[in-house]
Chains A and B, each alone.
Chain A
Amino acid sequence: MAALSSPIYAADPTPQITVGTQEVGLTAGYMLPHRLTQDHTTKQQGVALMPSWMMTLTDPIGDSWYRGQVSLGAEMVYIQFQEPFVTHGVGFTPKIKYTFVAQDRIRPYAEFAGGPFWTDLAGKTPEESSRFNFVLTAGFGVSYFLTDQAALNVGYRFQHISNGGTRYPNLGLNSSLPFGGFSFFF
């Protein structure tokens, strides 16, 4: 007869994120180009580093799989373009995020950010003529909570860099940015 042993329950880290909870994070990724039209010829690639800060604005809303919380924050974006030239870009983007909280430790999210972006790649490519631009980002990811205060994040972003029509040409640069990072909540 098989002996029944009582299961051992390890403590589950359920994050207690409420209104006012702050999140500080660091994300890194690699930019891969998308030439969406025939006029796009530049294949920009490079490493991206993005420290961020966010604050949760709402308690969980909704009752089903879409139950989630809204966070607002900002992110610094630093990109070192390695192709076609070694150049740099830095930007500041306010960001808004919706995190699905139906599960405890694994929390998918969707995010949107946009803000000013300065890069010296522009002027060297036919798509962009000015160094001062704007960057728009939309993406999704998953946070895996190692403890109730710390999480690992992985995800994907689509980025569009253009100068908003302030100077021509302004085809814009589009790219995919798979990323990974961590966040700390307090």
Chain B
Amino acid sequence: MRSQIFSRPLIGSVLAMTLGLGTGCSHWIELAGPTDAAPPTSATVATDARVPLLLETIRVTLNGSSIAPPTILERQVLGAIEATRLFSQLYQSGYTQPAADQARVTVRLSIDNLVEPHAGQAAWRGFVVGASMFALAPFISLNYDYGAEMSLEMERWDGQIKRYTATSNGSAHYNLFGASPDVIEQLKGEVTEACLSSLLNQVIQDSTFFLASSEHSQDKPIRFVSVGVCHSSPPCDPRVPTDRRLICSVARHKTVHDSSEIWLSPSLQWYHAPYTHEEAGVDLDAFRQMVIKNPQGFLGRYGLGNKLVQEAGNLEEAVEHLTIATQLDLTHVASHLGLGRALVSLGRKDEAKPILQAGIDAARSGRSSGGGDLVPEMEALLRTLG
């Protein structure tokens, strides 16, 4: 009799608590679309026409009160701008600046964050959940609203200004045991990214406004790059012009990479892109040390020569090293291509032709054990030399 009196309420309480704990762990996020839901835009622009961008200020407010821009937000903004590839280099106020006489685009970004945590509602609903011994936990959801309004002012080198705005908002819904700081952070990240994407899409639509006109020499091939809003998962798919190739370098260990224009053979497609110019210098030094240690080592000469070409460094020096590399390995196709490119960039077309032809012959004859995929590119480059 006593066991019956105590077991039923006890069992009922345990079941209620188990139900509450087990099923009240869910959460989900709803995003409202940005106000200007235009389809993603992309364009192909001449690489030489791109100018650097200077991020002058980021002003952030939270429910109308100014706050210091969070570091993670700064990095998100910089990464999104850099991923468009519309600008040749990225500078930020307070760090290295572009040369005073260099044409550039200056950017001022303003972000207004609106937070509605529904605190009163959460407190009352929490009280009800507690009073129900958590049995109502799976049925009562709590809400957190977050919105962002961004305005971007872009000033061209000649003083002309364009302004863009975008808005995005979303809500996080969660049951009691599904609450977590990560849910709120995820909501904020998604809203910010949606707003940034919308903003930069508008910038891409006006991409010609931010390009400097450039006169192209008949001898110099025109290099192109595809620009567009790139979402969080790298790499961006580069467009391949018919007879020229610019390949997006992807940093293997880092997600933000220097946007300097590069020439790469496909065999170096996944080369580590330096994160900063300082790191590029470190890599060059490493190859220089190899050359000093072993002047007749193929890898040191080839690596240093190609690195100089990638970083738009001293092309005369690159020619010197790549010439030795092609002499050390007569059948290495990629070094012939790199040397050919460097000579073409220096305007030494007559010297480039036999180099490129030798590389093509090595690949076609089978003396080379690889690099066959470089032949079309070499042939195309050879055709442009007349």
| A77 interface residue per 8 A CB criterion | no
| B286 interface residue per 8 A CB criterion | no
A19 touches B133 (CB 8 A): no
Q: A70 with B119: in contact, given A18-B181, A20-B182 (CB under 8 Å)?
A: yes
| B280 interface residue per 8 A CB criterion | no
**Which residue on chain B has the smallest CB distance to residue A113?**
B130
**Which residue on chain A has the smallest CB distance to residue B179?**
A20
| B271 interface residue per 8 A CB criterion | no
Q: Taking the nearest CB of chain A, how far is it from the CB of B188, in angstroms?
A: 11
How far does the alpha carbon of A132 sit from the alpha carbon of B9 in the complex, in Å? 10
| B28 interface residue per 8 A CB criterion | no
Chain A 60-73 interface mask (CB, 8 Å, partner B; 1/0): 01000000001011
Q: A70 with B131: in contact, given A19-B117, A20-B182 (CB under 8 Å)?
A: no
Q: Taking the nearest CB of chain A, how far is it from the CB of B360, in angstroms?
A: 62
| B105 interface residue per 8 A CB criterion | no
How far does the alpha carbon of A152 sit from the alpha carbon of B287 in the complex, in Å? 57
Q: Which of A36-85 contact B (CB under 8 A)?
A: 55-59, 61, 70, 72-74
B123 touches A70 (CB 8 A): yes
How far does the alpha carbon of A124 sit from the alpha carbon of B133 in the complex, in Å? 29
| A115 interface residue per 8 A CB criterion | yes
Chain B, interface residues (CB within 8 Å), range: 20 to 34
A74 touches B184 (CB 8 A): no
Q: Which residues of B contact A61 (CB under 8 A)?
A: 117, 119-120
A74 touches B134 (CB 8 A): yes
B123 touches A19 (CB 8 A): no
Chain A 87-99 interface mask (CB, 8 Å, partner B; 1/0): 0000010111000
| B183 interface residue per 8 A CB criterion | yes
A72 touches B182 (CB 8 A): no
A19 touches B179 (CB 8 A): yes
Q: A96 with B127: in contact, given A19-B184, A58-B117, A61-B119 (CB under 8 Å)?
A: yes
Q: A95 with B130: in contact, given A19-B117, A59-B117, A116-B13 (CB under 8 Å)?
A: yes
B130 touches A74 (CB 8 A): yes
Chain A 19-40 interface mask (CB, 8 Å, partner B; 1/0): 1110000000000000000000
Neighbour of A70 across the interface among B13, B126, B133, CB < 8 A: B126
Q: A18 with B184: in contact, given A59-B117, A116-B13 (CB under 8 Å)?
A: yes
B133 touches A20 (CB 8 A): no
Q: Which residues of A contact B122 (CB under 8 A)?
A: 19, 57-58, 70
Q: Taking the nearest CB of chain B, how far is it from the CB of A110, in angstroms?
A: 13
Q: A55 with B119: in contact, given A72-B129, A74-B130, A96-B126 (CB under 8 Å)?
A: no
Please report A residues at the B interface, Cβ cutoff 8 Å.
Answer: 18-21, 55-59, 61, 70, 72-74, 92, 94-96, 115-116, 132
6 more CB-based (< 8 A) A-B contacts, given A19-B144, A96-B123: A55-B176, A57-B126, A58-B117, A70-B123, A94-B134, A96-B130
Please report B residues at the A interface, Cβ cutoff 8 Å.
Answer: 6, 9, 13, 115, 117, 119-120, 122-123, 126-127, 129-131, 133-134, 142, 144, 174, 176-177, 179-184
16 contacts between A and B (CB under 8 A): A20-B180, A20-B182, A20-B184, A21-B181, A57-B119, A58-B119, A58-B123, A59-B115, A61-B117, A70-B122, A92-B133, A94-B130, A96-B126, A115-B133, A116-B13, A132-B6
